[in-house]
Amino acid sequence: MPFPAGQTPDVQPSSLTQNFDFTPLSPPPEAVDLLLLDTAAAWWANGHPREGVLILDDRSGALTLPVLDSLISAACATVEDAVAAVRVLQDELGAERALQGNARRANLPAPPPAELPSLTEEAPAAFAGVHTVLMHLPRSLETLSDWAWLIREHAAADVVVLAVGRDKHMNHSMNQVLEKHFSDVSAGRGRSKSRVLTARGPRENVPSSAPRKNTHQVTVPGAPATELTLCSLGATYGGTKLDPGTRLMLQAVEAHPGFPGAEYVIDFGSGNGTVSAFLTLRHPQLRVIATDHSASAMQSTQLTAEANGVAARIETVRDDALSRFEDASAEVILLNPPFHQGNAVDPGAAHRLIRSAARVLAPGGRIYSVWNSHLKHRAVLSKEVGLTEQLARDARFTVTVSTKR
Ligand SMILES: C[S@@+](CC[C@H](N)C(=O)[O-])C[C@H]1O[C@@H](n2cnc3c(N)ncnc32)[C@H](O)[C@@H]1O
């Protein structure tokens, strides 16, 4: 190791951020990206191996493309070697597409997206021979723990994990999660209200993480409670929690005439698979297509389907906003839309999904939806889909059904 435990290199603006032309990239890099790149460059300038770089959840290529470009310009690698030396694992499909688009604009090859490994996979290719990991600190400690375990288990013994965050989103629990998996964890000096946590020294015998599991009871009037086991791993929204808005939506849907005649329903943004598993448990003939842009949500939905014995009737499709579904093809969609994009509250993300659902619904088809009552999605549902009626409302949430005109 180029540095004794507890010591990290001095971080200065480097060729990675000074020589790379970021202008074709959309969106432009953030301060956290530049700090992370300069931190990686400092390690490499001090003798840490440059090859075997794993980049986790690069939002649009602002991390991957400068690293790739520097490897290609170092002239010690062919373009193929450089591409092979950089692995990229992105949870959201939109991030994969943004990286590919920016690679085209920057005239660089895009490394093929790596498959998200399950926690039980023996030797995930994305992690083998990895000496440096560049990542944004995820919001959820469970996600951080899953990443840390995979790196500790499968990366090279000298792996240096560089995890950047904005000061206002960081807390000491993040250090503690990393310390469970690595013997040497330190926080770097702040720059632009951001800093990097460095973790190295994979610990021996950290118990294997397993997908998280939790069992819930869902009651609907006039029927025995349904027992629902929810599983989650990685960055899945809500972990194994049963979202209170989703609970209200499912109760309201069960009290409604339901889905007579529908061959299948679409669980749009399936997350941990709550909607898919509940509906297939309650309706033994029903098939569900569960779709989400998040790779870990797709794995979690699948695990939840298996845990409830309904996997044969749930198909999972990783997709961004129903882009692979035909116009006017679906009878019923259920949606609990996201209320933020990254760390920012953004109703625009939900409106985009409502517009996509409106495109995919057949005339007369219905979308059941739940949202925080202050968000005023009803006007968008009425405009984009059609007649929108309230089915339930509690102190926080409103459930509606909208019929495609
Ligand atoms: C509020 S969560 C609901 C999850 C789950 N249905 C539940 O009720 O617990 C919203 C889900 O939408 C997914 N999502 C967000 N944007 C998406 C997009 N553009 N395409 C597909 N899924 C998306 C998120 O990954 C997340 O799992």
From the CA of 297, give the closest atom in ligand 1: 27
Superfamily of domain 15-202: Vaccinia Virus protein VP39 (3.40.50.150)
pLDDT band at 350 (very low <50, low <70, confident <90, very high): very high
pLDDT value at residue 261: 75
Cβ-in-10-Å burial (0-12, 13-18, 19+) of 343 comes to: exposed
DSSP string for residues in 25-81: -SSPPPHHHHHHHHHHHHHHHTT---S-EEEE--SSSTTHHHHHHHHHHTSSS-HHH
pLDDT value at residue 210: 79
- Name the closest-CA residue to atom 24, ligand 1: 269
From the CA of 242, give the closest atom in ligand 1: 9
Q: Count Cα neighbours of 215 within 13 Å in the Cβ-side half-sphere.
A: 5
- 77 pLDDT higher than 80: no
E-strand spans in 177-275? 182-187, 194-202, 212-218, 226-232, 264-268
Cα-to-centroid distance, 361 and ligand 1 (Å): 18
How many Å apart are CA 32 and CA 43, to the nearest integer? 17
- Name the closest-CA residue to atom 14, ligand 1: 269
Please say whether the beta carbons of 102 and 65 come within 8 A: yes
Work out the average pLDDT over 121-147. Answer: 93
| Mean pLDDT (the chain, rounded) | 94
From the CA of 237, give the closest atom in ligand 1: 27
pLDDT value at residue 78: 85
Please say whether the beta carbons of 294 and 326 come within 8 A: no
- pTM, whole model, 2 decimals? 0.94
Cα-to-centroid distance, 374 and ligand 1 (Å): 19
pLDDT value at residue 94: 93
pLDDT value at residue 371: 96
- 75 pLDDT higher than 70: no
**Token pair recorded at residue 329:** 């093809």
From the CA of 246, give the closest atom in ligand 1: 8
Q: What is the pLDDT of residues 32-67, one digit of tens each?
A: 999 999 999 999 999 999 999 999 999 999 999 999
pLDDT band at 222 (very low <50, low <70, confident <90, very high): confident
CATH architecture assigned to 212-403: 3-Layer(aba) Sandwich (3.40)
Give 204's contacts (C-beta < 8 A, 6+ positions apart): none
- Name the closest-CA residue to atom 12, ligand 1: 269
**Token pair recorded at residue 250:** 């499912």
Q: What is the pLDDT of residues 226-281, one digit of tens each?
A: 999 999 988 999 999 999 999 999 999 999 887 877 889 999 999 999 999 999 99
pLDDT band at 121 (very low <50, low <70, confident <90, very high): confident
Pocket of ligand 1 (CB under 6 A): 237-238, 243, 246, 269-272, 274-275, 292-294, 297, 320-321, 336, 338, 349
E-strand spans in 113-246? 132-136, 160-166, 182-187, 194-202, 212-218, 226-232
pLDDT exceeding 90 applies to what percent of the chain?
85
Cα-to-centroid distance, 161 and ligand 1 (Å): 28
- Name the closest-CA residue to atom 1, ligand 1: 338
- Locate the domains of the chain by residue range: 15-202, 212-403
By mean pLDDT, which of 43-47, 218-222, 299-303 is the weakest? 218-222
Cα-to-centroid distance, 372 and ligand 1 (Å): 15
